[in-house]
């Protein structure tokens, strides 16, 4: 029913996610470097390396936020290519647009305020789609994956970079302690925002592990799905193709 538990829960999640990213937008880049000790740059670099993106390609970066991946793609695809930076949140999108414009990246980048669950692009548009640290914020992940498959060209690939499940017990304990105890404190100290960083830790714990996400991609219709763990499985990048 319209007023059933699921609907209420989904609306609440979307509202909370919006609140979190409006709140963190201005300090997002600084916090990313701080919280990951700069390692997020390595995770993103690896994602670029396996993206297969070449000059002339059409690339969509969903939940692109402040535009780290979009900036790199813009340089790779060149004048003949196109990069669309899409995000549901106008605060994040504005920080991204300002940053990329300051970097002089203007001619081949477009911006779209869009929900991953209902992408506003024609079928078979993109050679590559990336979603980095975004999927766990999406309410209906299956719907989002199907939407991504639809807008990919046949032969195109999806890369999902996301927090995942640490491979060993000890690392898992240390990491849990870090994310539930230290991380909200850093959030409070640097961004005066403990709640958003508590949400971050919780959303990471709730997110499907490596094999579950791989199965979800297969169910959505992606072919040749595989993943690579990084930093002991704290993060994984999943790859799938549109046949």
64 binds ligand SAM (CB under 6 A): yes
129 binds ligand SAM (CB under 6 A): no
Sign of the C-alpha dihedral computed for residues 184, 202, 217 and 172 taken in this order: positive
Q: Which stretch binds ligand SAM (CB under 6 A): 110-118, 152-160, 223-231, 234-242?
A: 110-118
Q: Which residue has the tokens 């763990």?
A: 229
**Footprint on residues 10-49 left by ligand SAM (CB under 6 A):** 17, 21, 32
- Dist. CA 78–CA 36, nearest whole Å: 30
Q: Which residues of 113-145 are buried (b: 16+ CB within 10 A; e: fewer)?
A: ebbbbebebeeebbbbbbbbbbbbbbbbbeebb
Shortest Å distance, C-beta 200 to ligand SAM: 8
C-beta of 132 vs 216, nearer to ligand SAM: 132
133 binds ligand SAM (CB under 6 A): yes
116 binds ligand SAM (CB under 6 A): yes
Is 142 annotated as ligand-binding?
A: no
Is 37 annotated as ligand-binding?
A: no
C-beta of 10 vs 170, nearer to ligand SAM: 10
Please give the biggest Cα pair distance in the chain: 49
C-beta of 62 vs 158, nearer to ligand SAM: 62
**Footprint on residues 66-85 left by ligand SAM (CB under 6 A):** 66, 68
For 161, the enclosing helix (H) or strand (E) is strand 152-163
How many Cβ atoms are within 10 Å of 51's Cβ, its own excluded? 22
φ, ψ of residue 134 to 5 degrees: the values are -120, -35
Residue 130 has which token pair? 């990336």
Report the residue closest to ligand SAM, judged by CB. Answer: 65
Is 66 annotated as ligand-binding?
A: yes
Contact residues for ligand SAM (CB under 6 A)?
A: 17, 21, 32, 62-66, 68, 87-89, 92, 115-117, 132-134, 137-138
């Amino acid at each position: 029913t319209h007023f059933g538990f699921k609907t209420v829960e989904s609306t609440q999640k979307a509202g909370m996610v919006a609140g979190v990213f409006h709140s963190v937008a201005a300090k997002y880049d600084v916090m990313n470097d701080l919280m990951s000790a700069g390692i997020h740059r390595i995770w993103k670099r690896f994602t670029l390396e396996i993206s297969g993106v070449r000059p002339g390609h059409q690339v969509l970066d969903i939940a692109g936020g402040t535009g780290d991946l979009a900036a790199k793609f813009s340089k790779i695809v060149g004048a003949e290519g196109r990069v669309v930076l899409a995000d549901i949140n106008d605060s994040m999108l504005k920080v991204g647009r300002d940053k990329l414009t300051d970097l002089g990246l203007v001619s081949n980048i477009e911006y779209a305020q869009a929900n991953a669950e209902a992408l506003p692009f024609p079928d078979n548009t993109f050679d590559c789609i990336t979603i980095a640290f975004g999927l766990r914020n999406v309410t209906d992940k299956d719907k989002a994956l199907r939407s991504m498959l639809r807008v990919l060209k046949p032969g195109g690939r999806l890369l999902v970079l996301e927090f995942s499940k640490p491979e060993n017990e000890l690392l898992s304990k240390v990491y849990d302690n870090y994310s539930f105890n230290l991380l909200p404190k850093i959030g409070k100290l640097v961004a005066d925002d403990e709640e958003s960083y508590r949400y971050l830790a919780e959303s990471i714990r709730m997110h499907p592990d490596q094999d579950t996400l791989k199965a979800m991609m297969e169910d959505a219709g992606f072919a040749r799905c595989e993943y690579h763990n990084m930093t002991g499985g704290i993060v994984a990048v999943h790859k799938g193709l549109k046949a």
